[in-house]
A and B are shown apart, each in its own frame.
Chain A
């Protein structure tokens, strides 16, 4: 809903509230459910926004990044805006680098998640330094960034295919690639 036509203000508010509610569900899934059942954390919000930017208009996804980031901040006891900055930058760079490539390419989601993950963790590392001072960046890279990026790459393709399928249904398209 990129407001291609003029919507009433109450419709816009209802849409934004629905978005926040969906993202709250994703945050709960990420921070409570996945970690309990699988024993490790997957950054589902990052995965979702980075994959959606390959399929949906940028202005919609960047708002998802902002809301998702703020919800992560609130539920983590982190400074407001920290996660949001990292997510918006990740989405922005993925859009700049990969938006010219057709969403039918199966390697696209994996590259997008890797690029998004690198930007996200670089930004996160920088914000940690700003807040708490320096640390061994190589250890952060090996112990935090790399494992978390690898974990988020695994579900990238299936989640991307599901998102693409949902979009096709929403648009009333034939959910098959016809050549």
Chain B
């Protein structure tokens, strides 16, 4: 059963190299054209085409996963024969059976709570696909320009008991979908500030390639002091320089995280920031459409 069909020395070898070279040049051409923006409408159309299906698959998969986790818990509890825990598991199983409409209702109520306590108008969105590999941290959501989403809008989320916190910024918008650059991506840079008594310490918050969940706050004034545990919020500085700038939609004072470790690199000060919400764990987000409600 020796396989000699793909040996390099076979007569098809030169043809193989021509095909590889041709497709490689084709892929490079696509990349360059997309980099220039020529192919952006094509990509937008294709992303729009796939997003509804991917969103449905993603939520179905999540439900299956939740059910499976619930059932394994239940089996483990049966073995322990702990009556109290069994009751707890039954309650969990009941929660898992909550119809979709009730989940939506719950999300809308949460959105309303956030809107009541902040001057924000929100648009809810499901995360269709999240890419946390190849050094990137990006996501695609199932709302787009049809829902009045625009590039540069801030994306917030909640996880367990965290406050509604910034997890990313909209970078591309299609009719029915939008791409989000998560704050943990190394190419993400957002102006932030820390309130310390009467003093405001400003800086730029960047993601890192390390993927350890920590963010890096730089561009801090040399004399400024930041202590561990200080709250980092967005500064909304871009808007002050011009309404048309890319991140001008990001309002000030969206919670981002807590400062951890301050250190120097050369002549610059840096602070590690632990975000309130790990973007990887989020499945539902809100996009801040307007903050002058």
Interface residues, chain A, with chain B CB atoms under 8 Å away: 2, 28, 31-33, 35-37, 41, 43, 53-59, 62-63, 65-66, 69-70, 73-85, 88-89, 91-92, 95-96, 99-100, 102-104, 121, 124-125, 127-128, 130-133, 135-136, 139-140, 142-144, 148, 168, 173-174, 176-178
Q: In the complex, which residue of chain A has the Cβ closest to the Cβ of B178?
A: A77
Q: Does B78 contact A (CB under 8 A)?
A: no
- Cβ-defined contact, A125 with B135, below 8 A: yes
A124 to B135, CA, bound (A): 9
- Cβ-defined contact, A143 with B210, below 8 A: yes
In the complex, how many residue pairs between chain A and chain B have their CB atoms under 8 Å apart?
A: 171
Q: Does B145 contact A (CB under 8 A)?
A: no
A104 to chain B, nearest CB (A): 7
Q: Does B234 contact A (CB under 8 A)?
A: no
A53 — which chain B residues lie within 8 A by C-beta? 6
Q: Does B195 contact A (CB under 8 A)?
A: no
B43 — which chain A residues lie within 8 A by C-beta? 73-74, 79-80
The 10 closest A-B pairs by CB, nearest first: A81-B31, A81-B30, A77-B179, A132-B187, A84-B27, A58-B16, A41-B133, A76-B131, A79-B34, A81-B27
Q: In the complex, which residue of chain B has the Cβ closest to the Cβ of A102?
A: B2
Given A31-B129, A77-B172, A84 and B20 touching (CB < 8 A)? no
B171 — which chain A residues lie within 8 A by C-beta? 77
A34 to B7, CA, bound (A): 34
A62 — which chain B residues lie within 8 A by C-beta? 16, 19-20, 23
Given A37-B65, A57-B5, A77 and B140 touching (CB < 8 A)? yes
Interface residues, chain B, with chain A CB atoms under 8 Å away: 1-3, 5-9, 12, 15-16, 19-20, 23-24, 26-35, 39, 42-43, 46-47, 50, 54, 57-58, 61-62, 65, 129-136, 138-140, 171-172, 179, 186-187, 208-212
A57 — which chain B residues lie within 8 A by C-beta? 5-6, 12, 16
A72 to B15, CA, bound (A): 27
Listed residue (B133, B186, B211) with the most chain A CB atoms within 10 angstroms of its CB = B133
